[in-house]
Structure 1
Amino acid sequence: MMKLRAILVMTIYAILVTMASFWMAKQSYSWFPPEASAEAKLLDDLFSLFTGLGTFIYLGVIGPFLYSLLFHRASKYDMSDGPPIEGNTWLEIVWTAVPLVLVLTLSFVSYRTYEKMAVRGPMELVHLHLPQMMQPAYAEPFDSTPQQEIQKAAQTAPIEQIDVNVKQWAWVFHYPEQDVTSTELHLPVDRRVRFRLRSEDVLHGFYIPAFRLKQDVVPNHDIDFELTPVKTGTYRLRDSMFSGTYFAANQADVVVQPFNEYQQWLADAAAQSPTPAFNQAAFEYSHTTSSEGATKDKVAVRGWDTIPPAPPPIVNYAPKKR
């Protein structure tokens, strides 16, 4: 009778843990910004899977632990030894095989996600300039959402090429076909975009949270990076690597818009004469150059030495100062 009750309790608990794990997996989608790229859908699906499994494992361990702690404690003055328990071969096999299979499965799913994303990145650097191992492909979610139809149609669209130059501390975006430069990144929705990332000084990080993608920008190397925006709106590009005193100010707006609006923006920007753009780092630096102890090469900012920011970039288009 006791054994039957224990089996019943564990069965009910396993059902509750499974339901809680599915709930947590669904909740994990709300922890991030909107899914603004096809790659974001893939990463959120993967994160949801890891969250659900992590919840199941955590509750599966902590529940029996708390139950044993509460209901199977030794009495206050019981100093006797516990009953001798010898090893169980099948139990050893199970708790060795299950984690092994789980880790290998998650590794395979993670690799497949990365392969579907096909963001390229510095493959030529880590593979000693061997031919590219993965052909870029349009990212497809695991599930069959209506968005897939748009994605399949966009897969055949020409790739937009944009050069991204970053320095201490400014982002400059160059559209080579129209010879347009901007400090605001404009992208067409539902079209594959290929960036060529360059750093003029130190290590920077190209990171757009709404796209879920980050790529280190390595000095003296051109790095190709690809993604596909799928949701119109204005997002934020941040420098994810500490690149010096003003790295937190090294940000830019990312505007994802319909293709006809994107083309109109390019035409309007091309008609404008290049002018110096407002730069937050240069603006803040200019207010510290009169600080006591300032020299020609470095300025003390709240007790820290820094270098002068690069001059404000000369671009065709720059957003108005907020």
Structure 2
Amino acid sequence: MVRFLEYFLIAGCIAVLLVFSHWIGQQAYSWMPLEATAEAQKVDYLFSFLVSVGAFVFLGLVGMMVYSIIFFRASPKDYSEGHPSRGDVRLEILWTVTPTLLVLWIAFQGFNIYQQLDITGLQQIVHLHRPLEEPAYAELNDNKPKPASETIRVFVKQWDWSFQYPNNLTSNELHLPVNLPTRLNMHAKDVLHSFYVPEFRLQQYIVPGRNIDIVLTPIRTGKYHLKDSLFSGTYFALMDANVYVESQEAYKQWLTQTAAQQPTATNQAVAEHTQTTKAWFKTSWYTVTPAQPSIITGERKVNNDT
């Protein structure tokens, strides 16, 4: 009877820990920025699950330590050691199999989210161990791309973002229709850059010389902020752009209105580079001269750096 009560108490404590850990995991949703894409929801679900698991392990261990300190504290003059828990095969299997299954499940969920983003153009490169003068590479072919309602070409360089839409309109703003899968065809013109929008839970490297496609589905209208998460030199702080998720009607209206506007050429990095600076002393730091700005027009994009 006493043994039954002990097991019942342990089961009750575990149940309370599970409920409280689940509650903490639900609070983790509020720790993140707003979810602006369908893929962000899956990322936050995985994050919430990890927080729940971490809370359960942490509170369980702390609870066991507090319980042991209160009820099994040795007397001040007792220097004997407790009996080691060894030779219990069931316990060994439990604490080996459980973390293994947990890690495998987390890995599967992460891989599933990555597959849903349908990132293409990042073929895995395997460098074989050969002399440096004779490098050998093996590339894996991409799978068939995921269908999308729109394809927007993204161009990035030091220090400028530009976006080309299906009607050949080019803008410094990224506009996305809500609730429709959109393909971003990304190109880096000089160095390695990274496309990062916190609300999208998306950070994708853009590699020079490669066409990198990624499909995302915006689900929340609003204005967001695109940053380059990789340091790219002197004017790195200017590597940002506005992202607008809007209704399909508003998206089409913006395309029509913007295409009718006069062409402009703007680049804040060029403007700052041409300004006369006042400094106490001159430095020998090397600075890349920003490329001339692209012509933003509704007909076509004229690149001054190609």
TM-score per shorter chain, which class? 0.7 to 0.9
Letter in 2 for 1:68: S
Report deviation, 1:216.
0.2
The equivalent residue for 2:257 is 268
- Report how many aligned residue pairs link the two structures: 287
Q: Distance in 2 between the 1:136 and 1:223 partners?
A: 13
The equivalent residue for 2:176 is 187
SS in 2 for 1:306: coil
Q: Distance in 1 between the 2:276 and 2:9 partners?
A: 67
The equivalent residue for 1:152 is none
The equivalent residue for 2:81 is 81
The equivalent residue for 2:121 is 122
User: Does the 8 A contact of 2:183 with 2:213 survive in 1?
Assistant: yes
The CA deviation string for residues 162-204 of structure 1, in whole angstroms up to 9 with x for no partner, is 11111111101112x3221111111111222111111111111
TM-score (norm 1): 0.79
Q: Distance in 1 between the 2:46 and 2:179 partners?
A: 22
User: Does the 8 A contact of 1:189 with 1:229 survive in 2?
Assistant: yes
The CA deviation string for residues 18-65 of structure 1, in whole angstroms up to 9 with x for no partner, is 111111221111112221111111211222222222222222222212
User: Does the 8 A contact of 1:121 with 1:215 survive in 2?
Assistant: no
Letter in 2 for 1:136: K
Q: Distance in 2 between the 1:238 and 1:102 partners?
A: 34
User: Does the 8 A contact of 2:121 with 2:142 survive in 1?
Assistant: no
The equivalent residue for 1:169 is 159
The equivalent residue for 1:27 is 27
User: Does the 8 A contact of 1:118 with 1:135 survive in 2?
Assistant: no
Change (3 A) 1:192 1:268: same
Letter in 2 for 1:133: N
User: Does the 8 A contact of 1:25 with 1:48 survive in 2?
Assistant: yes
Letter in 1 for 2:142: Q
The CA deviation string for residues 235-292 of structure 1, in whole angstroms up to 9 with x for no partner, is 111111111232232111101111122112111221223212252x344444564435
User: Does the 8 A contact of 2:267 with 2:292 survive in 1?
Assistant: no
The equivalent residue for 2:130 is none
Asked whether 1:207 is paired with 2:212, we answer no
The equivalent residue for 2:287 is 306
Q: Which moved more, 1:227-236 or 1:45-54?
A: 45-54
Q: Which moved more, 1:1-10 or 1:239-248?
A: 1-10
The equivalent residue for 1:230 is 219
The equivalent residue for 1:196 is 185
User: Does the 8 A contact of 2:265 with 2:293 survive in 1?
Assistant: yes
Q: Distance in 2 between the 1:113 and 1:80 partners?
A: 52
Q: Distance in 2 between the 1:307 and 1:71 partners?
A: 68
Equivalent runs, 1:1-322 vs 2, <5 Å: 3=3, 6-83=6-83, 85-115=85-115, 117-126=116-125, 128-133=138-143, 135-136=145-146, 159-175=149-165, 177-279=166-268, 281-287=269-275, 289-291=277-279, 305-316=286-297
User: Does the 8 A contact of 2:24 with 2:51 survive in 1?
Assistant: yes
Q: Which moved more, 1:184-193 or 1:82-91?
A: 82-91
TM-score (norm 2): 0.83
Q: Percent identity?
A: 41
Q: Distance in 2 between the 1:84 and 1:109 partners?
A: 37
Q: Please give the root-mean-square deviation of Cα atoms over the aligned residues, in Å.
A: 2.6
Letter in 1 for 2:183: R
